[in-house]
């Protein structure tokens, strides 16, 4: 005889047997979610390694003493180094119209292999005075915009290079058959010059002087000219009205102006007799505090293939165009300079100033969450296959 209680128990056990069991996520979705999580962690591996690195900066010393071998293996490290920034070719960057400007400049003496990205926040006075940079060192090639910034510098940004006359003459003597030469500038950066590259040679005129007489003191050009000729000066060249630099002891233009407006001066190139030169210059300088007295220089622009070294060390022979040759003594070469585009080489580095390792700790937390998400997906997938 069948027990009714057992019959009810058997019926209760089979009551939901006809309801289908809910299926888990499709295996493809689980695998895709896990792979995406692990890919994002792999993509941020550099930030993760930097976040967990030492917060004590590695002192690299002077930037000009570093080379590719010294920097190898130091990328993505927190470092400190010193160097001279090239403020002439620095960029002011405004990200997405935020009106928060940052600076990007190269460090002199590194062969354009080291650049610094300076944040907008004020620097400590000690670092600003010593031109020291502290932050994260990364390769330019690791930047997502590396190609864009290389192209922008090469086509838009130029830098002025000054050369020592002896080094320039030496490079001229050893240039190849193609006419190209590489000359180190005064900061130590090598500059490649083609035969058609234009350089400016400033030739000093030892027997001449450039004099600027302020128009506020001499109302007419006749008065300014008379002030010079009456003291034995012979005017060689009239440069006209030139707004030059303010005199060092010039008073400020106003209470709200830190820099006075440069005065307008009648400017001449003058020659004096040797015995009357210094007394005449002293007398002219005492006429007004805005009188400007400078060495007279003549700037000559030539192609590299129009310059050859002369017999004396550091001397040059200039052949501008089809004109006659002119030999310049070493003492008369006041300066040699050129303007060349800034080309970022393949082994260049960028120091992101103020980027501290502990600022990237949120990346570690996000990576841990992503890893947990990926593991949960894989564990769930394994359970699905075991059922």
307 domain-assigned: yes
- How high is the pLDDT of residue 25? 64
Q: Give the Cα separation of 77 and 138 in Å (integer).
A: 8
**Domain count along the chain:** 1
277 domain-assigned: yes
For the residues 302-328, what does the mean pLDDT come to? 83
334 domain-assigned: yes
Domain interval for residue 319: 199-248+260-341
H/E element holding 371? helix 361-386
Using an 8 Å Cβ cutoff, are 66 and 112 in contact? no
- Collect all residues with Cβ–Cβ distance below 8 Å to 356 and sequence separation of at least 6: 55, 78, 135
Confidence of residue 278 (pLDDT cuts 50, 70, 90): very high
239 domain-assigned: yes
106 domain-assigned: no
pLDDT at 69 over 80: no
266 domain-assigned: yes
For the residues 171-183, what does the mean pLDDT come to? 79
11 domain-assigned: no
Contacts for 26-29 with beta carbons within 8 Å, 24 or more apart? 27/381, 27/384, 27/385
145 domain-assigned: no
Q: Give the Cα separation of 276 and 260 in Å (integer).
A: 33
Confidence of residue 20 (pLDDT cuts 50, 70, 90): low
CATH number for position 268: 3.30.70.240
């Amino acid at each position: 005889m069948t027990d009714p209680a057992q019959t009810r128990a058997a019926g209760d056990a089979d009551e939901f047997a006809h309801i289908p069991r809910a299926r888990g996520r499709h295996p493809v979705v689980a695998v895709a979610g896990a792979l995406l999580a692990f890919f994002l962690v792999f993509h941020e591996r550099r930030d993760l390694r930097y976040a967990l690195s030492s917060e004590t900066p590695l002192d690299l010393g002077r930037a000009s003493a570093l080379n590719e071998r010294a920097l190898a293996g130091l990328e993505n490290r927190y470092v400190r180094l010193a160097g001279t920034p090239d403020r002439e070719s620095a960029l002011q960057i405004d990200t997405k119209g935020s009106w928060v400007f940052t600076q990007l400049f190269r460090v002199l003496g590194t062969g354009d292999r080291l650049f610094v990205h300076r944040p907008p926040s004020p620097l400590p006075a000690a670092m600003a005075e010593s031109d020291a940079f502290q932050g994260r060192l990364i390769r330019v090639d690791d930047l997502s915009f590396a190609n864009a910034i290389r192209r922008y510098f090469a086509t838009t940004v130029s830098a002025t290079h000054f050369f020592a006359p002896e080094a320039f003459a030496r490079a001229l003597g050893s240039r190849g058959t193609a006419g190209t030469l590489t000359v180190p500038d005064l900061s130590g950066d090598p500059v490649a010059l083609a035969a058609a590259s234009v350089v400016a040679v400033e030739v000093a005129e030892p027997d001449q002087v450039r004099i600027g007489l302020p128009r506020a003191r001499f109302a007419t050009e006749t008065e300014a000219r008379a002030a010079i000729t009456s003291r034995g000066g012979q005017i060689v060249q009239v440069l006209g009205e030139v707004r030059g630099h303010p005199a060092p002891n010039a008073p400020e233009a106003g209470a709200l102006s830190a820099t006075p407006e440069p005065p307008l001066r009648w400017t001449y190139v003058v020659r004096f007799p040797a015995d009357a030169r210094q007394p005449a210059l002293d007398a002219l300088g005492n006429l007004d505090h805005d009188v400007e007295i400078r060495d007279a220089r003549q700037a000559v622009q030539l192609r590299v293939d129009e310059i050859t070294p002369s017999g004396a060390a550091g001397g040059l022979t200039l052949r501008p165009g089809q004109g006659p040759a002119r030999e310049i003594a070493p003492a008369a070469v006041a300066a040699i300079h050129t303007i060349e585009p800034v080309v970022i080489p393949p082994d260049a580095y960028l120091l992101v100033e103020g980027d501290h390792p502990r600022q990237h700790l949120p990346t570690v937390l996000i990576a841990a969450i992503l890893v947990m998400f990926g593991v949960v997906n894989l564990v769930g997938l394994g359970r699905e296959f075991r059922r």
